[in-house]
Structure 1
Amino acid sequence: MKIEDSFKIGSVIKTKGLKGEIQFYVDFENLDLVDFNAVFIDMEGKLVPYFLESIKYHSNNTAYLFLEDVDTIEKASRLVKKDIYLPNKLKPKKKSGDFTLMDLLGFTAVDEDEGELGKITNIQELPQQLIATVHYKDCEVLFPLNEEIIKGIDVVKGIVRVDLPEGLLDIYLE
């Protein structure tokens, strides 16, 4: 399975106990409503399947996983700080009014001054704001997604119009 055929549900935070249990940060809303028996973990750019023995939701943002064949702390330690994915076919369908800034992944960012910047390849959720990543002129460019930057969103065409702060692109292109 390829990353573009899947969606990220979280990241492994740490191991728990000695029998291979892992704690992961859940960054996908209502994951407990999704029925799945396997996850895919990003191991150096390749998605490796792991079958679920059990999952326990601890709080809004954390869960504990027991995976088949991960039965020691050493095996679990190899998964720490790795991202966890599910196949796109398991992604719940959104209602038309449920569009969020996280849905801008894959949209084309167009700056008012510079023109097309490229497709948004990643959106990171930081405590203060969301950060979008695009590849512009062979450079990875990060910019915030907020009301000041976003000037318009065309959901049908998959375009987000932005007005980046003056000098932001220069920092990446120098």
Structure 2
Amino acid sequence: MISRDSIYKIGVIGKPHGVKGEVTFNFDDDVFDRTDADYLILDVDGILVPFFMEEYRFKNDEMALMKFEDIDTQEQARTLTGCEVFFPREKAQEAEGEASLSQLVGFTLVNAEELTADAEKANGTAADDSTGTPVGTIRAIDDSTANLLLEVETPNGRQLLIPMSDDLITNIDWEGHRLVMRIPEGLLDLN
């Protein structure tokens, strides 16, 4: 059985293309092309199902025409319309180059513990980049503006928008699914 923690969303299936079972695939992350993955995982009526890729070709930077094994008619392809598409986190980590921001969805955002420079000198240690206070779960990443924003849901259901910057990130724990950041003081207190 496929665990939702072991995958992350990379796109959605659009409408059928042609009559031989091909579909349009609108994607946010082209990791399926950068790795040697044989399959994608589709959410079909709430069930995560692997679909093996027969072939695909890019239509543009955000859309591909995808042919899955055993989907050979327009009617079969139509049943996949609107299905969310996921990719295994483990395979994504094997991909060369930089990780995709999409991989951070589902991670726990952690506010790094702050140690003042005086405290660091006094005890002879630097701040630990792997510890801190959990803030909530990253539900989405908003890249529609010049500044990236993390959409975070706190344990009590509160929705937060947290600016994301390389300067604020102290650690990404891929195995523990944690993003540790030094969140600017007062930001978590805003409504």
Tell me the TM-score normalised to structure 2 length.
0.65
Cα distance change of structure 1 residues 159 and 76 upon mapping to structure 2, 3 Å threshold: same
Q: For residues 108 and 100 of structure 1, what CA distance do their matches in structure 2 show?
A: 16
Aligned runs of 1:73-152 on 2, under 5 Å? Answer: 73-93=74-94, 98=98, 102=102, 104-105=104-105, 106-110=107-111, 116-120=134-138, 122-128=139-145, 130-139=148-157, 141-146=159-164, 152=168
Per the alignment, residue 154 of structure 1 pairs with 170
Are 1:34 and 1:92, in contact at CA under 8 Å, matched by a contact in 2?
no
Matched residue pairs, number? 162
Instruction: Give the % identical residues.
Output: 24
Q: For residues 90 and 59 of structure 1, what CA distance do their matches in structure 2 show?
A: 24
Q: Which residue type is aligned with residue 136 of structure 2?
A: G
Cα deviation per residue 1:14-33 (whole Å; 9 max; x = unaligned)?
22123321111221145422
Cα deviation per residue 1:94-144 (whole Å; 9 max; x = unaligned)?
77x946755644142449xxx753232x22345326443333243151415
Structure (1/2) with the larger strand percentage:
1
Q: For residues 37 and 10 of structure 1, what CA distance do their matches in structure 2 show?
A: 17
Asked which structure has the greater CA Rg, the reply is 2
Partner of 1:139: helix, strand, or coil? coil
Q: CA RMSD in A?
A: 3.3
Are 1:21 and 1:67, in contact at CA under 8 Å, matched by a contact in 2?
yes
Q: For residues 49 and 56 of structure 1, what CA distance do their matches in structure 2 show?
A: 19
Q: Which residue type is aligned with residue 169 of structure 2?
A: I
Q: For residues 44 and 103 of structure 1, what CA distance do their matches in structure 2 show?
A: 23
Structure 1 residues not aligned, in runs of 5+: 169-174
Per the alignment, residue 46 of structure 1 pairs with 47
Structure 2 residues not aligned, in runs of 5+: 113-132, 174-178
Displacement, 1:42? 1.5
Are 1:7 and 1:91, in contact at CA under 8 Å, matched by a contact in 2?
no
